[in-house]
Amino acid sequence: MSATLPKEMAERFHIAAGDKVYAVETDLGILITPYDPDFDEAISVYRRGARKYRNALRELSK
């Protein structure tokens, strides 16, 4: 699927032809963003694990 954005908007948000963007449904409509909500969730899980197992990870890295 594809969508066309106004050139000025694409330039302002540094979006080029072929870039992947995400459509997120909100209460106000559709939000189009280069931000991947699944990636944010994965990083959040990683950060919790890294914090919890900080000492074990430090020992394993030796």
- Domain range enclosing 45: 7-60
Residue 24 resides in a domain: yes
Tell me, yes or no, whether 1 lies in a domain: no
Instruction: For residue 30, tell me if it sits in a domain.
Output: yes
The pLDDT tens digits for 10-41 are: 999 888 988 888 888 999 999 888 877 788 78
Q: Is 44 a domain residue?
A: yes
Query: What pTM did the predictor assign?
Result: 0.47
Domain count, the chain: 1
Q: 17 lies in a domain? A: yes
Question: Domain for residue 2, yes or no?
Answer: no
**SS3 of the chain:** CCCCCCHHHHHHCCCCCCCCCEEEEECCEEEEECCCHHHHHHHHHHHHHHHHCHHHHHHHCC
